[in-house]
Amino acid sequence: MCVKRGALTVAILRHGSGHTPGLRKRNEYCGVSGFISRHDVNHLLYFSLRALQHRGQESAGIAVYDGQKIVLHRGMGLVHQVFSKLILDSLKGTVGIGHVRYSTTGGSVEENAQPLHIYNLQHEIAIAHNGEIVNVSEIKSFLGKIGAAFTTKSDSEVIARLLSFHITRHGIVEGIKRTVRDLRGSFSLALLIDNRLFAVRDPLGIRPLAVGEIDGGFGIASESVAFHSIGGEFIRDVMPGEILELTPDGLITHHIFERKYKAHCMFEYVYFARADSIINGKCVYDVRRRIGQILAREHPADADFVVPVPDSGRAHALGYAEGSGIPYAEGLMKNRYVERTFILPSQETRVKEINLKLSPVKSVVDGKRIVLIDDSIVRGNTMRKIVRMLKQAGAREVHVRVGSPPIIAPCYLGIDMKTRDQFIANGKNIEEIAKAIEADSLGYISIDGLVEAIGIPKEHLCLGCLTARYPVPIDGEKIRFQSDLEDF
Ligand code: SF4
């Protein structure tokens, strides 16, 4: 591997106003992958996307370089719905990228599906993006002045057009560097530029991105589980700020943008990532189990059983059972064929889906005192329904314990939690929240407890939605540290 650390490029944009509250439409949370090999990569891309399906269920896409040009297929739905065997077999090429996406209300349309594919006079570019750019208006206004036209509402297109602008003038690697300099926010990118594959991670390392090896080549994926599912091997994380090129023979680090502090998203560990992933060197399952153990120490309860909200509360609940000595039991069963509640687009849909998704195991809960463990509480609707469901099934007491501290502020960096009035914890004390969700008692893990469980120093984590202090400048919000401001 060769690592070059060059002088930073001169940014063309002054970072000024950036995000405008109320105008934000591009709230995406996604999974990306990319492979280069001596063999065709279409099946590697397909199965890697299936392993990343939990990161996005609304659309999927694959772009490959077929030896002469980039060919692409995208569509709405789950990966196996978007790609028939015929379509997948037509995507022949030894290098390519893939994407799974979900969006909030209004953004769930095919034009916003990725990978995004654009041309300029010299290059073809396909881009798969996980994250959220907060200075989109500023970049769009710059690109608009030089004649760029936009065909989607996606911030990923803004990245692609900016990249096209820079690489036309400065060549591919220097163009990527300049693009990274100009972007503010979270971005893990898989880039296919003609027949070359690059991975780029934002300098704060907000979203995950992993590198792996497969027979005959190398790959990148949002989470390490993607490599296991195709018989490959996880090598390491793409480093925060790294511009990495993958070739069939190895990896070339072209540049690393260094920052004093990182800002790994705590929510990846708490909820979003798959439990068997390794992110920033930490196994997500182990983190969730430690969260449960610390929760038992911070908020003990007198109860007969520890019951998880399946599936994401399972490891937390196991940890709580270990920490408290109270037996673990599966008191709720999940219908696996209903999509994840949190990522269904509308509030109304979410509430209806809860009954379809979970049902109580009466023999476990009837007449019992239950410690109910979930990874987080955002709006509180789901938790209230579950508590009611357990009580209707005969539970004597339901003590709720939560694996994330109270969420009080929006996420501007790629998780769909947008306005303060959505959050049940906003403006309510613990007793009021317990009453609202109809629990007999309620305990959230502390911020220090969460940091201890993750095992990464607090100054290298993003805790913005817990503290209302963010690692990038956002209009109307407080910055985390002064040095975060100086870094931009
Ligand atoms: S604000 Fe919260 S959800 Fe968003 S990146 Fe930071 S920790 Fe993650």
Q: Hey, which of 268, 416, 462 would you mutate to test ligand 1's pocket, going by the most ligand atoms within 8 Å of its Cβ?
A: 462
Q: What is the pLDDT of residue 146?
A: 85
Same fold, 20-258 and 283-467: no
The 10s digit of each residue's pLDDT in 361-403 is 999 999 999 999 999 999 999 899 999 999 999 999 999 999 9
Give the residue, by CA position, lying nearest to ligand 1 atom 2.
465
Q: Hey, which of 27, 186, 207, 267 would you mutate to test ligand 1's pocket, going by the most ligand atoms within 8 Å of its Cβ?
A: 267
Q: Hey, which of 19, 465, 467 would you mutate to test ligand 1's pocket, going by the most ligand atoms within 8 Å of its Cβ?
A: 465
The 10s digit of each residue's pLDDT in 209-218 is 999 999 889 9
Average confidence (pLDDT) over 225-229: 94
Q: Ligand 1: distance of its center to the CA of 323 in Å?
A: 27
Give the residue, by CA position, lying nearest to ligand 1 atom 4.
411
- Known active-site residue 462: no
Q: Ligand 1: distance of its center to the CA of 463 in Å?
A: 6
Cβ-in-10-Å burial (0-12, 13-18, 19+) of 1 comes to exposed
Give the residue, by CA position, lying nearest to ligand 1 atom 8.
265
Q: Ligand 1: distance of its center to the CA of 21 in Å?
A: 17
State the pLDDT confidence band at 103, using cuts at 50, 70 and 90.
Answer: low
Q: What is the pLDDT of residue 419?
A: 81
Q: Ligand 1: distance of its center to the CA of 270 in Å?
A: 11
Sequence-distant (≥ 6) Cβ neighbours of residue 72 within 8 angstroms: 61, 62, 63, 64, 115, 117, 126
Q: What are the residues facing 246 on neighbouring strands? A: 197, 251
Q: What is the pLDDT of residue 20?
A: 33
State the pLDDT confidence band at 192, using cuts at 50, 70 and 90.
Answer: very high
Residue 25 has pLDDT above 50, yes or no: no
The 10s digit of each residue's pLDDT in 161-190 is 999 999 999 999 999 999 999 999 999 999
The 10s digit of each residue's pLDDT in 146-158 is 888 888 888 889 9
Q: Computed from CA positions of residues 247, 45, 88, 112, in that sequence, does the dihedral angle turn out positive or negative?
A: negative
Ligand 1 binding residues, C-beta < 6 A: 206, 265-267, 411, 413, 415, 462-465
Average confidence (pLDDT) over 412-440: 91
d(CA 309, CA 329): 11
Which member of 30, 411, 462, 465 is catalytic? 30
For the domain 283-467, what is the CATH code?
3.40.50.2020
Residue 390 DSSP SS3: helix
Comparing CA positions, the residue from 440, 291, 296 lying closest to residue 368 is 440
Q: What is the pLDDT of residue 208?
A: 98
Q: Ligand 1: distance of its center to the CA of 413 in Å?
A: 6
Classify domain 20-258 at the CATH topology level: Glutamine Phosphoribosylpyrophosphate, subunit 1, domain 1 (3.60.20)
Q: Ligand 1: distance of its center to the CA of 418 in Å?
A: 11
Residue 111 has pLDDT above 60, yes or no: yes
Average model confidence (pLDDT) for the chain? Answer: 89
Comparing CA positions, the residue from 260, 130, 140 lying closest to residue 203 is 260
Annotated domain spans of the chain: 20-258, 283-467
